[in-house]
Amino acid sequence: MLKPTVGPILGHTTTHHARIFLRGDLQNNALVFAGIRYRRRGEESWSKGAFAKLEPMRDMSDVIALNDLAADTDYEYQAGWFSPMNPAHTVDSVQELPLQWPRPIHRLRTRSSEANRPRAYIVGSCRYLRMTAGVPSMPHLGDRIFASISRLAEQAKLPISALLMTGDQIYVDDLNIIAPDREFKEILQKYRAAFSQPHIAKLMASLPTYMILDDHEIEDNWPANKHKTDEHLYRNATKAYELYQASHSPAHTLSANGQLNKQLDKYWYPFTDGDIEWFVTDSRTRRNLSATDRRILDTDQEQALCDWLIHSQARVKFVVTSVMFYPDRKRLGDDAWQAFPEQRLRLLETIRTHRIKNVVFISGDVHGSLCSRLTHSEDPDFEVHTIVSSPLCNSKLLPYAKASTFILNQPLARTAAGDYRHELTGRVISQDNFAHLVVEGDRIEVNYHDRDGKLLQSSSIKLR
């Protein structure tokens, strides 16, 4: 067996289930299979292998689901791919082959079933990796920060539950002015290069990774900048996104046999980690820009989000939106929630009128990081927070956000029932960074680190 050409990437993980993405390669039109075997850490014998047949239409990649795992348990696993000599082999028959598995051993830990134990997460967005003629240009710059995240994950007293990548994991449009990438093959090359750099590959092999797309997975400021000829680009970009990012996410349901249902009808998804719940929105591909019904989330998604907010019993509710929920920008705000004020107000009013506690919006996009608190002039029980983490690696062509980038001296919204007012709870960070969130006791600690892992700033959100 050979090592995966991309991956393994550990995706959605629960108390008893884990999804692992990996890619092989073409072998002269021969059959190709990918496989995973695992064992509890400390045991000698491996499980029977779990296999998938790899197809060119999926770029020789697939996701293998491991089921019936034990909660709160460390596992080791090996992953690889091969082409059997007998062309009649099936996923079932290759289980009997005497395979020599690749030497690397990866680790995963299932979630704890203990509801109220402390949890920690890594959040980041906007990882720029320039490609020139299909080859990454100075890839170590875009990979450096993931080495720092790995060190933090290895040294932290509290295990990291998940890595949340909230948009712009790749830049399809990095050379838009000179030579825009529009073809499926070109976009796939970017994913392969971005996800196979050594530090990010090591990190994603052992830390459950959840992703959602933003505009640069398609085109800058999509769909406002969409042209009539862009349908071809959109189909190719979303197909590649589905293979490399959505494939290992909770957006895919499980079929009766415990494997993933390949059909995908939406990109947004919720998931649960003890008494913490996440709702990862698709704030990019379901937009309606018509003057009569402007929406950043489609009707079904908005309804699902509101129902989740109202009925969830989670102590903390994290809502991921790749573009900023608030504060608003002085310029270029037409790409974020600022341009959809009616829908934003509906969500805020839902939270306020139903007296929902401990809602935190997580976002990226702006190439600057900050924490902000939102209150209501006439309702002392209302409080919502936002945590912004961006970028993981900036381009020299793009500026960092600063405090002066945002509208901070006026209410976010005025209503007959009162004003929604916000304030920064720390300084705006204008450099490459990632956020380390720790939910423990009666607070959320938000720790921002630079690309070398140095602590830049800590903020605290008191839970109610």
3-state class (DSSP) for residue 404: helix
Q: Say yes or no: 151 and 23 in one domain.
A: no
pLDDT digits (tens, 9 = 90+) for 237-256: 999 999 999 999 999 999 88
Q: Say yes or no: 24 and 156 in one domain.
A: no
Q: Say yes or no: 227 and 262 in one domain.
A: yes
Q: Say yes or no: 103 and 124 in one domain.
A: no
Q: How far apart are CA 273 and CA 338, in angstroms?
A: 30
Which of 109, 130, 150 is the endpoint of a domain? Answer: 109
Give the DSSP H/E element, type plus range, for residue 135: strand 135-136
Q: Say yes or no: 346 and 223 in one domain.
A: yes
Q: Say yes or no: 97 and 130 in one domain.
A: no
Which of 109, 139, 156 is the endpoint of a domain? Answer: 109
Q: Say yes or no: 248 and 169 in one domain.
A: yes
3-state class (DSSP) for residue 162: strand
Q: Say yes or no: 147 and 177 in one domain.
A: yes
pLDDT digits (tens, 9 = 90+) for 160-212: 999 999 999 999 987 655 566 789 999 999 999 999 999 999 999 999 999 99
Kindly write down the DSSP assignment for every residue of 199-230, as one continuous string. Answer: HHHHHHHHS-EEE---GGGT-TTTTTT--GGG
3-state class (DSSP) for residue 445: strand
Tokens of 139: 């890839």
Q: Say yes or no: 284 and 173 in one domain.
A: yes
Tokens of 129: 């990796």
pLDDT at 94: 94
Tokens of 221: 């400021």
Ramachandran assignment for 256, one of left (phi > 0), alpha (psi -120 to 50 degrees), beta (any other): alpha
Amino acid letter at 190? K
Order the strands of the 269-273 sheet from edge to edge.
Answer: 269-273, 276-280, 316-320, 359-363, 379-388, 370-376, 418-424, 413-415
Q: What percent of the chain has a predicted confidence (pLDDT) above 70? A: 98
pLDDT at 454: 98
Q: Look-up: residue for tokens 């504060």?
A: 327
Kindly write down the DSSP assignment for every residue of 333-362, as one continuous string. Answer: GGGSGGG-HHHHHHHHHHHHHTT---EEEE
pLDDT at 132: 63
Q: Say yes or no: 100 and 149 in one domain.
A: no
Contact present, 200 and 154 (Cβ < 8 Å): no
- Structural domain of 291: 119-462
How many independent structural domains does the chain possess? 2
Which of 109, 141, 168 is the endpoint of a domain? Answer: 109
Determine the Cα angle at 89 with ends 86 and 93, to 5°: 125
Ranges of residues in the chain whose predicted pLDDT is under 50 = none
Distance of CA 269 to the CA centre of its chain: 11
pLDDT digits (tens, 9 = 90+) for 295-340: 999 999 999 999 999 999 999 999 999 999 999 999 878 999 999 9
Domain assignment present for residue 421? The answer is: yes
Domain assignment present for residue 114? The answer is: no
pLDDT at 167: 97
**Which CATH number does the domain housing residue 454 bear?**
3.60.21.70
Determine the Cα angle at 305 with ends 163 and 427, to 5°: 50
**Which CATH number does the domain housing residue 56 bear?**
2.60.40.10
49-53's contacts with Cβ under 8 Å and 24+ in sequence apart are: 49/94, 49/95, 49/99, 51/91, 51/94, 51/95, 52/91, 53/90, 53/91
Domain assignment present for residue 13? The answer is: yes
Q: Say yes or no: 284 and 424 in one domain.
A: yes
Domain assignment present for residue 276? The answer is: yes
Tokens of 266: 């939406």
Domain assignment present for residue 406? The answer is: yes
Tokens of 209: 């990774």
Nearest to residue 81, comparing CAs of 130, 138, 28, 24?
Answer: 24
Q: How far is CA 288 from CA 128, 222, 459, in A?
A: 28, 11, 35
Domain assignment present for residue 1? The answer is: no
Contact present, 292 and 305 (Cβ < 8 Å): no
Q: Say yes or no: 316 and 456 in one domain.
A: yes
